[in-house]
Protein backbone atom coordinates (compact mmCIF):
# COMPACT_ATOMS: atom_id res chain seq x y z
CA UNK A 1 0.00 0.00 0.00
CA UNK A 2 2.98 2.27 0.52
CA UNK A 3 3.53 2.54 -3.22
CA UNK A 4 -0.10 3.49 -3.73
CA UNK A 5 0.22 6.27 -1.14
CA UNK A 6 3.29 7.61 -2.90
CA UNK A 7 1.44 7.47 -6.19
CA UNK A 8 -1.41 9.48 -4.75
CA UNK A 9 1.07 12.09 -3.47
CA UNK A 10 2.51 12.27 -6.95
CA UNK A 11 -0.83 12.89 -8.61
CA UNK A 12 -0.12 16.59 -9.05
CA UNK A 13 3.08 15.92 -10.96
CA UNK A 14 1.56 13.15 -13.06
CA UNK A 15 -1.84 14.70 -13.69
CA UNK A 16 -1.02 16.33 -17.01
CA UNK A 17 0.23 13.01 -18.36
CA UNK A 18 -2.36 10.82 -16.74
CA UNK A 19 -5.35 12.81 -17.90
CA UNK A 20 -4.06 13.54 -21.41
CA UNK A 21 -6.95 13.67 -23.80
CA UNK A 22 -9.50 13.10 -21.02
CA UNK A 23 -12.42 15.23 -19.97
CA UNK A 24 -13.62 14.97 -16.38
CA UNK A 25 -17.38 15.19 -16.04
CA UNK A 26 -19.75 15.22 -13.12
CA UNK A 27 -20.36 11.69 -11.81
CA UNK A 28 -23.45 9.91 -13.02
CA UNK A 29 -26.08 9.95 -10.29
CA UNK A 30 -27.39 6.70 -8.97
CA UNK A 31 -30.61 5.24 -10.23
CA UNK A 32 -31.83 3.30 -7.21
CA UNK A 33 -30.91 0.71 -6.17
CA UNK A 34 -27.53 1.03 -7.95
CA UNK A 35 -24.52 3.08 -6.78
CA UNK A 36 -23.37 6.37 -8.27
CA UNK A 37 -20.41 6.43 -10.62
CA UNK A 38 -16.96 6.92 -9.05
CA UNK A 39 -14.79 9.79 -10.30
CA UNK A 40 -11.34 8.95 -11.64
CA UNK A 41 -8.79 11.49 -10.41
CA UNK A 42 -5.65 10.00 -11.98
CA UNK A 43 -4.44 7.20 -14.22
CA UNK A 44 -0.72 6.90 -13.52
CA UNK A 45 1.87 4.63 -15.19
CA UNK A 46 3.79 2.61 -12.63
CA UNK A 47 5.90 -0.48 -13.36
CA UNK A 48 6.19 -1.77 -16.91
CA UNK A 49 2.79 -2.57 -18.39
CA UNK A 50 0.97 -1.15 -15.36
CA UNK A 51 -1.47 1.67 -14.73
CA UNK A 52 -2.63 2.71 -11.26
CA UNK A 53 -6.11 4.21 -11.28
CA UNK A 54 -7.02 6.52 -8.39
CA UNK A 55 -10.68 7.38 -7.95
CA UNK A 56 -13.09 8.93 -5.46
CA UNK A 57 -15.87 6.75 -4.09
CA UNK A 58 -19.50 7.12 -5.17
CA UNK A 59 -21.55 9.80 -3.44
CA UNK A 60 -24.39 7.31 -2.98
CA UNK A 61 -24.17 3.53 -2.65
CA UNK A 62 -27.71 3.11 -3.98
CA UNK A 63 -29.10 1.84 -0.70
CA UNK A 64 -26.80 -1.14 -0.07
CA UNK A 65 -23.05 -1.32 0.60
CA UNK A 66 -20.64 -1.33 -2.33
CA UNK A 67 -19.08 -4.81 -2.48
CA UNK A 68 -16.50 -4.30 -5.23
CA UNK A 69 -15.20 -2.05 -7.98
CA UNK A 70 -14.69 -3.02 -11.62
CA UNK A 71 -12.53 -1.52 -14.36
CA UNK A 72 -12.78 -1.48 -18.13
CA UNK A 73 -10.16 -0.56 -20.73
CA UNK A 74 -12.17 -1.51 -23.82
CA UNK A 75 -15.17 0.79 -23.83
CA UNK A 76 -17.16 -1.28 -21.36
CA UNK A 77 -17.08 -4.62 -23.19
CA UNK A 78 -15.36 -6.33 -20.25
CA UNK A 79 -15.38 -5.46 -16.54
CA UNK A 80 -12.82 -7.36 -14.42
CA UNK A 81 -12.91 -6.78 -10.66
CA UNK A 82 -10.25 -4.54 -9.08
CA UNK A 83 -8.06 -6.37 -6.57
CA UNK A 84 -6.94 -3.31 -4.57
CA UNK A 85 -8.54 -1.55 -1.63
CA UNK A 86 -11.30 0.94 -2.46
CA UNK A 87 -9.97 4.11 -4.08
CA UNK A 88 -7.21 2.46 -6.12
CA UNK A 89 -7.26 -0.04 -8.98
CA UNK A 90 -4.02 -1.47 -10.38
CA UNK A 91 -4.23 -2.64 -14.00
CA UNK A 92 -1.48 -5.10 -14.91
CA UNK A 93 -0.16 -6.79 -18.05
CA UNK A 94 -0.94 -3.90 -20.40
CA UNK A 95 1.01 -3.06 -23.54
CA UNK A 96 3.57 -0.28 -23.07
CA UNK A 97 2.93 2.71 -25.35
CA UNK A 98 -0.73 1.85 -25.96
CA UNK A 99 -3.30 4.42 -24.75
CA UNK A 100 -6.08 2.87 -22.66
CA UNK A 101 -9.44 4.52 -22.02
CA UNK A 102 -10.13 3.56 -18.40
CA UNK A 103 -13.51 3.50 -16.65
CA UNK A 104 -14.47 2.43 -13.11
CA UNK A 105 -17.83 1.38 -11.75
CA UNK A 106 -19.10 0.32 -8.31
CA UNK A 107 -21.08 -2.85 -7.60
CA UNK A 108 -23.58 -3.44 -4.80
CA UNK A 109 -26.05 -6.22 -4.02
CA UNK A 110 -28.29 -5.09 -6.90
CA UNK A 111 -25.49 -5.09 -9.47
CA UNK A 112 -23.13 -2.63 -11.16
CA UNK A 113 -23.83 1.10 -11.17
CA UNK A 114 -23.11 3.66 -13.87
CA UNK A 115 -19.50 3.81 -15.12
CA UNK A 116 -17.24 6.78 -14.53
CA UNK A 117 -16.24 9.11 -17.31
CA UNK A 118 -13.33 7.67 -19.27
CA UNK A 119 -9.78 8.81 -18.54
CA UNK A 120 -6.89 7.93 -20.83
CA UNK A 121 -3.59 6.56 -19.53
CA UNK A 122 -0.60 5.02 -21.30
CA UNK A 123 1.72 2.52 -19.60
CA UNK A 124 5.41 3.01 -20.31
CA UNK A 125 8.52 0.89 -20.02
CA UNK A 126 11.10 2.04 -17.46
CA UNK A 127 13.70 4.34 -18.95
CA UNK A 128 17.14 2.96 -19.72
CA UNK A 129 18.43 -0.59 -20.21
CA UNK A 130 16.85 -3.51 -18.39
CA UNK A 131 18.83 -3.86 -15.14
CA UNK A 132 18.13 -7.61 -15.14
CA UNK A 133 19.85 -8.01 -18.50
CA UNK A 134 23.45 -6.75 -18.36
CA UNK A 135 25.31 -6.37 -21.66
CA UNK A 136 27.95 -8.76 -20.36
CA UNK A 137 26.58 -11.80 -18.60
CA UNK A 138 28.29 -12.73 -15.32
CA UNK A 139 30.32 -15.89 -14.77
CA UNK A 140 30.28 -18.61 -13.63
CA UNK A 141 26.73 -19.21 -14.78
CA UNK A 142 24.22 -21.93 -15.53
CA UNK A 143 21.29 -21.70 -17.92
CA UNK A 144 17.70 -21.98 -16.76
CA UNK A 145 15.10 -23.47 -19.11
CA UNK A 146 11.41 -24.05 -18.53
CA UNK A 147 8.46 -26.14 -19.68
CA UNK A 148 5.09 -24.46 -20.12
CA UNK A 149 1.85 -26.17 -19.12
CA UNK A 150 -1.44 -24.35 -19.92
CA UNK A 151 -3.20 -26.59 -17.40
CA UNK A 152 -0.83 -26.67 -14.47
CA UNK A 153 -3.65 -27.54 -12.07
CA UNK A 154 -3.63 -31.10 -13.40
CA UNK A 155 -6.54 -31.20 -15.81
CA UNK A 156 -5.27 -34.48 -17.25
CA UNK A 157 -2.35 -35.86 -19.23
CA UNK A 158 -4.14 -35.58 -22.57
CA UNK A 159 -4.65 -31.79 -22.38
CA UNK A 160 -2.71 -29.89 -25.06
CA UNK A 161 -1.97 -26.19 -25.46
CA UNK A 162 -4.09 -26.18 -28.63
CA UNK A 163 -7.21 -27.36 -26.77
CA UNK A 164 -9.95 -24.95 -25.78
CA UNK A 165 -9.89 -25.02 -21.98
CA UNK A 166 -12.37 -24.04 -19.31
CA UNK A 167 -11.97 -20.75 -17.48
CA UNK A 168 -10.62 -22.48 -14.36
CA UNK A 169 -7.36 -23.59 -15.97
CA UNK A 170 -4.12 -22.38 -14.32
CA UNK A 171 -1.02 -22.00 -16.54
CA UNK A 172 2.43 -22.62 -15.10
CA UNK A 173 6.14 -22.63 -15.94
CA UNK A 174 8.32 -25.38 -14.51
CA UNK A 175 12.05 -24.49 -14.52
CA UNK A 176 14.84 -27.03 -14.72
CA UNK A 177 16.49 -25.63 -11.58
CA UNK A 178 15.69 -23.61 -8.48
CA UNK A 179 15.22 -19.88 -9.18
CA UNK A 180 16.74 -17.59 -6.52
CA UNK A 181 15.55 -14.34 -8.18
CA UNK A 182 11.82 -14.97 -8.28
CA UNK A 183 10.91 -11.29 -8.66
CA UNK A 184 12.98 -11.15 -11.87
CA UNK A 185 10.90 -13.98 -13.33
CA UNK A 186 7.63 -12.25 -12.48
CA UNK A 187 8.84 -8.94 -13.93
CA UNK A 188 9.60 -10.61 -17.25
CA UNK A 189 6.33 -12.52 -17.69
CA UNK A 190 3.44 -10.48 -19.10
CA UNK A 191 -0.06 -11.98 -19.35
CA UNK A 192 -2.11 -10.60 -22.24
CA UNK A 193 -5.71 -11.57 -22.90
CA UNK A 194 -7.79 -10.72 -25.96
CA UNK A 195 -11.34 -11.60 -26.89
CA UNK A 196 -12.55 -12.95 -30.22
CA UNK A 197 -12.46 -9.46 -31.74
CA UNK A 198 -8.88 -8.88 -30.64
CA UNK A 199 -9.85 -6.43 -27.90
CA UNK A 200 -7.64 -6.45 -24.79
CA UNK A 201 -9.13 -7.80 -21.59
CA UNK A 202 -7.46 -6.90 -18.30
CA UNK A 203 -7.42 -9.96 -16.04
CA UNK A 204 -6.49 -9.12 -12.44
CA UNK A 205 -4.30 -11.88 -11.09
CA UNK A 206 -0.92 -12.81 -9.70
CA UNK A 207 1.93 -15.22 -10.17
CA UNK A 208 2.49 -17.61 -7.29
CA UNK A 209 5.36 -19.98 -6.58
CA UNK A 210 4.40 -23.58 -5.79
CA UNK A 211 8.02 -24.44 -5.06
CA UNK A 212 11.45 -23.00 -5.99
CA UNK A 213 11.08 -24.15 -9.60
CA UNK A 214 7.38 -23.77 -10.40
CA UNK A 215 5.45 -20.53 -10.91
CA UNK A 216 1.74 -20.41 -11.73
CA UNK A 217 -0.57 -17.57 -12.75
CA UNK A 218 -3.96 -17.43 -11.04
CA UNK A 219 -6.60 -14.85 -11.98
CA UNK A 220 -8.41 -13.33 -9.02
CA UNK A 221 -11.64 -14.64 -10.54
CA UNK A 222 -11.75 -16.70 -13.74
CA UNK A 223 -10.42 -16.26 -17.25
CA UNK A 224 -12.84 -14.71 -19.73
CA UNK A 225 -14.48 -17.19 -22.08
CA UNK A 226 -13.65 -17.54 -25.77
CA UNK A 227 -10.36 -15.71 -25.34
CA UNK A 228 -6.71 -16.03 -26.28
CA UNK A 229 -4.16 -15.78 -23.49
CA UNK A 230 -0.55 -14.97 -24.36
CA UNK A 231 2.18 -15.15 -21.74
CA UNK A 232 5.02 -13.06 -23.13
CA UNK A 233 8.36 -14.11 -21.67
CA UNK A 234 11.39 -11.82 -21.90
CA UNK A 235 13.46 -14.05 -19.61
CA UNK A 236 16.07 -14.79 -22.25
CA UNK A 237 19.51 -13.79 -20.88
CA UNK A 238 17.97 -12.29 -17.74
CA UNK A 239 19.99 -12.85 -14.56
CA UNK A 240 17.69 -14.84 -12.28
CA UNK A 241 19.77 -14.57 -9.15
CA UNK A 242 22.75 -16.39 -7.72
CA UNK A 243 23.16 -19.74 -6.03
CA UNK A 244 26.40 -19.80 -4.09
CA UNK A 245 28.98 -18.39 -6.45
CA UNK A 246 27.08 -19.37 -9.61
CA UNK A 247 24.66 -17.12 -11.44
CA UNK A 248 21.40 -18.49 -12.83
CA UNK A 249 20.64 -16.97 -16.26
CA UNK A 250 17.58 -17.41 -18.42
CA UNK A 251 18.23 -19.47 -21.53
CA UNK A 252 17.77 -17.62 -24.85
CA UNK A 253 14.91 -20.07 -25.46
CA UNK A 254 12.94 -18.23 -22.75
CA UNK A 255 12.58 -15.22 -25.04
CA UNK A 256 9.23 -16.48 -26.35
CA UNK A 257 5.45 -16.34 -26.08
CA UNK A 258 3.34 -19.13 -24.61
CA UNK A 259 -0.30 -19.23 -25.69
CA UNK A 260 -3.53 -21.03 -24.94
CA UNK A 261 -7.22 -20.32 -25.39
CA UNK A 262 -10.43 -20.67 -23.45
CA UNK A 263 -13.73 -22.01 -24.69
CA UNK A 264 -17.14 -20.75 -23.67
CA UNK A 265 -17.28 -19.73 -20.02
CA UNK A 266 -19.18 -22.43 -18.10
CA UNK A 267 -19.78 -22.09 -14.36
CA UNK A 268 -21.71 -24.80 -12.48
CA UNK A 269 -23.25 -23.75 -9.16
CA UNK A 270 -24.33 -26.45 -6.72
CA UNK A 271 -26.32 -25.61 -3.57
CA UNK A 272 -26.66 -28.16 -0.78
CA UNK A 273 -29.67 -26.36 0.72
CA UNK A 274 -31.79 -26.04 -2.40
CA UNK A 275 -30.54 -29.42 -3.74
CA UNK A 276 -30.16 -27.86 -7.17
CA UNK A 277 -27.37 -27.57 -9.73
CA UNK A 278 -27.52 -24.54 -12.01
CA UNK A 279 -25.34 -24.32 -15.12
CA UNK A 280 -24.36 -20.93 -16.54
CA UNK A 281 -22.77 -20.37 -19.94
CA UNK A 282 -21.39 -16.87 -20.57
CA UNK A 283 -23.41 -15.69 -17.57
CA UNK A 284 -26.74 -17.07 -18.81
CA UNK A 285 -28.45 -19.93 -16.97
CA UNK A 286 -28.93 -22.81 -19.41
CA UNK A 287 -29.75 -25.77 -17.15
CA UNK A 288 -31.17 -26.54 -13.70
CA UNK A 289 -30.78 -30.09 -12.37
CA UNK A 290 -32.13 -31.63 -9.15
CA UNK A 291 -29.32 -33.26 -7.19
CA UNK A 292 -28.55 -34.98 -3.89
CA UNK A 293 -25.26 -34.52 -2.03
CA UNK A 294 -23.52 -36.17 0.91
CA UNK A 295 -25.51 -37.18 3.97
CA UNK A 296 -24.53 -36.41 7.57
CA UNK A 297 -20.97 -37.54 8.36
CA UNK A 298 -20.38 -37.96 4.59
CA UNK A 299 -20.83 -34.31 3.63
CA UNK A 300 -19.76 -33.20 0.17
CA UNK A 301 -16.97 -30.60 0.26
CA UNK A 302 -17.69 -26.92 -0.29
CA UNK A 303 -15.67 -24.72 -2.60
CA UNK A 304 -14.32 -24.73 -6.14
CA UNK A 305 -13.92 -28.00 -8.03
CA UNK A 306 -12.63 -27.99 -11.59
CA UNK A 307 -13.53 -30.51 -14.30
CA UNK A 308 -10.68 -32.53 -15.80
CA UNK A 309 -10.34 -35.26 -18.43
CA UNK A 310 -10.99 -37.86 -15.73
CA UNK A 311 -14.36 -39.16 -16.81
CA UNK A 312 -15.64 -42.72 -16.92
CA UNK A 313 -18.67 -43.90 -18.92
CA UNK A 314 -19.12 -46.61 -16.28
CA UNK A 315 -17.84 -46.87 -12.72
CA UNK A 316 -18.47 -49.31 -9.88
CA UNK A 317 -19.05 -47.90 -6.39
CA UNK A 318 -18.62 -50.16 -3.38
CA UNK A 319 -18.77 -50.01 0.39
CA UNK A 320 -15.31 -51.60 0.39
CA UNK A 321 -13.75 -48.53 -1.26
CA UNK A 322 -14.97 -46.46 1.69
CA UNK A 323 -13.79 -48.97 4.28
CA UNK A 324 -17.40 -49.42 5.39
CA UNK A 325 -17.21 -53.17 4.94
CA UNK A 326 -14.88 -55.89 3.76
CA UNK A 327 -15.37 -57.70 0.49
CA UNK A 328 -16.69 -60.85 2.17
CA UNK A 329 -18.95 -59.05 4.64
CA UNK A 330 -22.00 -59.26 2.40
CA UNK A 331 -24.47 -59.63 5.29
CA UNK A 332 -23.49 -56.26 6.76
CA UNK A 333 -26.34 -53.74 6.24
CA UNK A 334 -23.69 -51.20 5.12
CA UNK A 335 -22.51 -53.50 2.32
CA UNK A 336 -23.25 -52.51 -1.27
CA UNK A 337 -21.84 -52.83 -4.76
CA UNK A 338 -23.25 -50.52 -7.42
CA UNK A 339 -21.95 -51.91 -10.69
CA UNK A 340 -21.42 -50.05 -13.94
CA UNK A 341 -23.00 -46.76 -12.88
CA UNK A 342 -23.13 -44.50 -15.98
CA UNK A 343 -21.72 -41.04 -16.71
CA UNK A 344 -19.14 -40.36 -14.03
CA UNK A 345 -17.29 -37.04 -13.96
CA UNK A 346 -14.59 -37.02 -11.29
CA UNK A 347 -14.11 -33.83 -9.27
CA UNK A 348 -11.48 -34.76 -6.65
CA UNK A 349 -8.86 -37.47 -6.11
CA UNK A 350 -10.61 -38.24 -2.82
CA UNK A 351 -13.49 -39.65 -4.81
CA UNK A 352 -16.16 -37.03 -5.40
CA UNK A 353 -17.96 -37.56 -8.70
CA UNK A 354 -20.96 -36.15 -10.47
CA UNK A 355 -22.78 -39.28 -11.65
CA UNK A 356 -26.10 -40.90 -12.47
CA UNK A 357 -27.97 -42.34 -9.48
CA UNK A 358 -31.16 -44.02 -10.77
CA UNK A 359 -31.75 -45.58 -7.33
CA UNK A 360 -31.89 -42.13 -5.71
CA UNK A 361 -34.58 -40.44 -7.84
CA UNK A 362 -36.86 -40.02 -4.84
CA UNK A 363 -34.44 -37.71 -3.04
CA UNK A 364 -33.05 -35.70 -5.95
CA UNK A 365 -33.91 -32.06 -5.37
CA UNK A 366 -35.20 -32.87 -1.87
CA UNK A 367 -32.57 -34.15 0.54
CA UNK A 368 -28.96 -35.29 0.76
CA UNK A 369 -28.26 -39.00 1.06
CA UNK A 370 -25.05 -39.91 -0.78
CA UNK A 371 -21.60 -40.71 0.58
CA UNK A 372 -20.21 -37.46 -0.87
CA UNK A 373 -20.87 -37.68 -4.59
CA UNK A 374 -23.32 -35.54 -6.54
CA UNK A 375 -26.27 -37.81 -7.41
CA UNK A 376 -28.11 -36.93 -10.62
CA UNK A 377 -30.70 -38.23 -13.04
CA UNK A 378 -29.17 -40.36 -15.80
CA UNK A 379 -29.89 -37.84 -18.56
CA UNK A 380 -28.54 -34.95 -16.47
CA UNK A 381 -25.33 -36.77 -15.59
CA UNK A 382 -24.85 -37.56 -19.28
CA UNK A 383 -25.29 -33.86 -20.14
CA UNK A 384 -22.51 -32.93 -17.70
CA UNK A 385 -20.33 -35.77 -19.00
CA UNK A 386 -20.80 -34.72 -22.63
CA UNK A 387 -20.85 -30.93 -22.41
CA UNK A 388 -18.09 -30.08 -19.92
CA UNK A 389 -14.46 -29.57 -20.94
CA UNK A 390 -11.25 -29.63 -18.87
CA UNK A 391 -11.08 -26.43 -16.84
CA UNK A 392 -14.82 -25.88 -16.42
CA UNK A 393 -15.64 -24.59 -12.94
CA UNK A 394 -18.08 -25.96 -10.38
CA UNK A 395 -18.77 -24.10 -7.12
CA UNK A 396 -20.32 -25.92 -4.17
CA UNK A 397 -22.02 -24.07 -1.29
CA UNK A 398 -24.10 -25.00 1.76
CA UNK A 399 -23.02 -28.64 1.76
CA UNK A 400 -22.18 -28.81 5.46
CA UNK A 401 -18.74 -30.12 4.56
CA UNK A 402 -15.24 -28.67 4.75
CA UNK A 403 -13.68 -26.65 1.92
CA UNK A 404 -11.77 -28.50 -0.78
CA UNK A 405 -8.11 -28.76 0.24
CA UNK A 406 -5.56 -26.97 -2.02
CA UNK A 407 -4.00 -30.31 -2.96
CA UNK A 408 -7.30 -32.09 -3.61
CA UNK A 409 -7.70 -32.01 -7.35
CA UNK A 410 -7.72 -29.44 -10.18
CA UNK A 411 -9.91 -26.99 -8.24
CA UNK A 412 -7.91 -27.08 -5.03
CA UNK A 413 -5.65 -24.09 -5.68
CA UNK A 414 -8.69 -21.87 -6.36
CA UNK A 415 -9.69 -22.36 -2.71
CA UNK A 416 -6.56 -20.65 -1.36
CA UNK A 417 -7.73 -17.24 -0.09
CA UNK A 418 -6.56 -14.43 -2.36
CA UNK A 419 -4.53 -12.69 0.35
CA UNK A 420 -2.71 -15.96 1.00
CA UNK A 421 -2.10 -16.54 -2.73
CA UNK A 422 -0.43 -13.12 -2.98
CA UNK A 423 2.09 -14.27 -0.36
CA UNK A 424 3.33 -16.73 -3.00
CA UNK A 425 4.33 -13.84 -5.29
CA UNK A 426 7.69 -12.08 -5.07
CA UNK A 427 6.18 -8.86 -6.46
CA UNK A 428 2.78 -8.82 -4.75
CA UNK A 429 3.78 -10.09 -1.29
CA UNK A 430 3.98 -7.14 1.10
CA UNK A 431 6.21 -9.06 3.54
CA UNK A 432 9.06 -9.41 1.07
CA UNK A 433 9.40 -13.17 1.54
CA UNK A 434 7.85 -15.70 -0.83
CA UNK A 435 5.72 -18.58 0.40
CA UNK A 436 6.79 -21.48 -1.81
CA UNK A 437 4.89 -24.08 0.18
CA UNK A 438 3.44 -26.66 -2.17
CA UNK A 439 -0.05 -28.00 -1.44
CA UNK A 440 0.03 -31.53 -0.06
CA UNK A 441 -1.28 -33.87 -2.79
CA UNK A 442 -4.25 -36.00 -1.79
CA UNK A 443 -4.01 -39.70 -2.74
CA UNK A 444 -6.38 -40.91 -5.45
CA UNK A 445 -9.28 -42.97 -4.13
CA UNK A 446 -11.31 -45.49 -6.09
CA UNK A 447 -14.26 -43.25 -5.37
CA UNK A 448 -16.62 -42.30 -2.64
CA UNK A 449 -19.81 -44.25 -3.23
CA UNK A 450 -23.26 -42.79 -3.36
CA UNK A 451 -26.28 -44.62 -2.06
From 419, 267, 444, select the one nearest 350 (Cα to Cα): 444
CA dist 368 to 138, 219, 345, Å?
64, 33, 19
Sheet containing 51-56: which strands, arranged edge to edge?
39-45, 51-56, 88-91
Composition of the chain by helix, strand, coil, percent to 5: 10, 35, 55
Please state, in angstroms and rounded to a whole number, the distance separating the CA atoms of residues 393 and 246.
Answer: 43
More confident residue, 326 or 150: 150
Please state, in angstroms and rounded to a whole number, the distance separating the CA atoms of residues 446 and 443.
Answer: 10
Domains located in the chain, CATH noted:
2-121 (2.60.40.10), 141-262 (2.60.40.3710), 266-422 (2.40.440.10)
Check residue 30 and give its pLDDT.
Answer: 56
Please state, in angstroms and rounded to a whole number, the distance separating the CA atoms of residues 439 and 451.
Answer: 31
The 10s digit of each residue's pLDDT in 420-449 is 999 999 987 756 679 999 888 887 765 444
Please tell me the least confidently modeled range out of 5-19, 190-204, 224-238: 5-19
Check residue 277 and give its pLDDT.
Answer: 98
Please tell me the least confidently modeled range out of 62-71, 215-224, 250-259, 440-449: 440-449
Please state, as a whole number, how many other Cβ atoms lie within 10 Å of the Cβ of residue 326: 11
Residue 20 near residue 5 (C-beta atoms within 8 A): no
Please tell me the least confidently modeled range out of 167-181, 205-219, 334-348, 356-370: 334-348
The DSSP code for 88 is E
From 58, 50, 28, select the one nearest 124 (Cα to Cα): 50
CA atoms within 13 A on the CB side of 211: 10
The 10s digit of each residue's pLDDT in 348-393 is 999 999 999 999 999 999 999 999 999 999 999 999 999 999 999 9
Check residue 74 and give its pLDDT.
Answer: 83
Q: Are strands 39-45 and 255-262 parallel, antiparallel or unpaired?
A: unpaired
From 164, 308, 115, 141, select the one nearest 238 (Cα to Cα): 141
Does residue 32 register a pLDDT over 90?
A: no
Does residue 113 register a pLDDT over 90?
A: yes
Residue 189 pLDDT level (bands cut at 50, 70, 90): very high
Amino acid sequence: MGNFVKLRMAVGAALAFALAGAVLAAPAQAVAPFPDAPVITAVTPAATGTLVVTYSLPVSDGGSPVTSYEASVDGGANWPTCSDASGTCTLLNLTNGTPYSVQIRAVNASGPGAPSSAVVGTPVAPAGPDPDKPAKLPKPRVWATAVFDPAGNDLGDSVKSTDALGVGTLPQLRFNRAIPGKAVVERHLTVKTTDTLGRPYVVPGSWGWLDDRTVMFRPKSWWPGNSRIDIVSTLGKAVLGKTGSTYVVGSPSLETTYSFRTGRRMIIKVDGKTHLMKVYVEGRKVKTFPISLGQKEWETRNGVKVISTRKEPKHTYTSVSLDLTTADDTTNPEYYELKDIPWNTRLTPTGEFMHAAPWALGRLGKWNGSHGCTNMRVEDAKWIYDKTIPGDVSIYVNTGGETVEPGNGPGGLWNIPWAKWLKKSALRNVTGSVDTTAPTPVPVSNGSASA
